[in-house]
Amino acid sequence: MPELYYSKAVNEALDEELARDPAVVLIGEDIGLYGGAFGVTKGLFAKYGPERIWETPISENSFTGLAVGAAMLGVRPVVEIMFMDFIALALDQLLNSAGKLHYMYGGQVKVPMVLRTPGGAKGGYGPSHSQMLSNLLVGIPGLKVIAPSTAAQAKGILKSAIRDPNPVIVIENKRLYPQKGEVPDDDDFTLPLDRAVVASPGTDLSLFCYSSMTPVCVAVKNAFLQTGVNIEVVDLVSLQPLDTETLFASLRKTGRAVIVEEACLTGGVGAELSALFAEHCLDSLDAPIVRVAAKDVPIPSSLALEKLVLPQPEDIITAVKENLAY
C-alpha cells in the first residue's frame, strides 16, 4: 500500500472526484495557478481549467453563498476556506442556508456541498491564523462535521463527503499536511462519514481525541506501554454526528476517560462528549472524566507562549496519571 502525505491524499481525492463527476467544482482563494495556500490543489487548475476550478476574491461569505446556490441547482461544489479562522465570515451561509434549506423546503432541494478548511496551529501563525474552531460548527443542525487525522481518512472521507447529498464540513489540520500514512491505491476508496475509529486498542483507560491530537495521543499511549499501562486511543473522526456507539463501548470497557482536543476547553466537542458520558455511562466510570484542551485565551504568535496555550504531550501524560491514580 503506497504512503502519501496527508496533503497529497486530499489532492488525490479532489482530482479523482473531479475526474469522476463533471458536476464537481472547486471554489476558493488562490486555489488555481498558485495551488492553494498549503499546496493542496496544486496541478488541478492546469488539468481541469477555470470551468472547474473557480478562483474567488477575498469574500468568504459571498463564495460560500455561491456554493450553496450552485449546490441547490445540481452542482457539487467543494469550497476551500484558506484558514479555519476565516470561517466566521461564512457562518451565516452555513448556519442559515446550507444546513436548513433542505428542511425549509420540505426535502424539495438538497445542498450537496463540501467546505474544507485547515484548522489548528502550525507554529507562530498567531491568534487569527491558528484556531481550531470545531466548537463553532458542532450544534448547527443539518451540517456534518468531520476531522480526519490520517492520510487515508483525509482521502476516503473527502471522497465520501463530495458524494454525500448533504453539506459536509471537513476540518483538515495544518500540522497534519506534512505527515505520511498508508492510503489504498483505489480510485473508489471511500470511508464512512459517521464512524469513530479505535486508533489503538487498550484496556486501562480511553483517550478520546481527533485531528492533530490523534497522533499525539498514540505516541502517549506507546510511552505508557513501557510502564505496563495499556491505553485505548479512540479517534472521533466525526464530530457531528458523534459515533456514540463506539465511544460508549470504549468507555464501558476501560472505565476511564481522558478527552483531548486542540480547540479551547470551554463549550467544545470535549464538553459535549463529557456530558454524554455523564448522561449515559456514569455507572461505568471508575474516575472523573478529564479534559485536556487549549486554554481559553487567544493563541500567541510567540512559539514559547503558544506551547503554554495549546495542549502538549506532557499535559496528556499528567491527565492520564491523575485519572489512573484516582
DSSP state of 50: T
Q: Is 129 among the residues known to form the active site?
A: yes
Give the up-direction half-sphere exposure of residue 231: CA atoms within 13 A in the CB hemisphere.
30
Asked if residue 221 lies in contact with residue 231, where contact means CB atoms within 8 angstroms, the answer is: yes
Q: Which amino acid is at 270?
A: G
Cα-Cα-Cα-Cα dihedral sign, residues 202, 203, 205, 206: positive
Q: What is the DSSP-derived secondary structure letter of residue 323?
A: H
- Nearest-angstrom CA–CA distance, 48 and 199: 36
76-80/197-200 β-pairing: unpaired
Question: Which one from 16, 129, 172, 262 is the annotated catalytic residue?
Answer: 129
Task: Indicate the DSSP class of residue 98.
Answer: I
Look up 279 and say whether it is catalytic: no
C-alpha to C-alpha distances, 239 to 31, 84, 136, 143, 148, nearest whole angstrom = 26, 16, 12, 10, 10
Active-site hit among 12, 29, 60, 172: 60
Output the nine-digit C-alpha cell for 176.
497534519
Q: Which residues are catalytic?
A: 60, 129
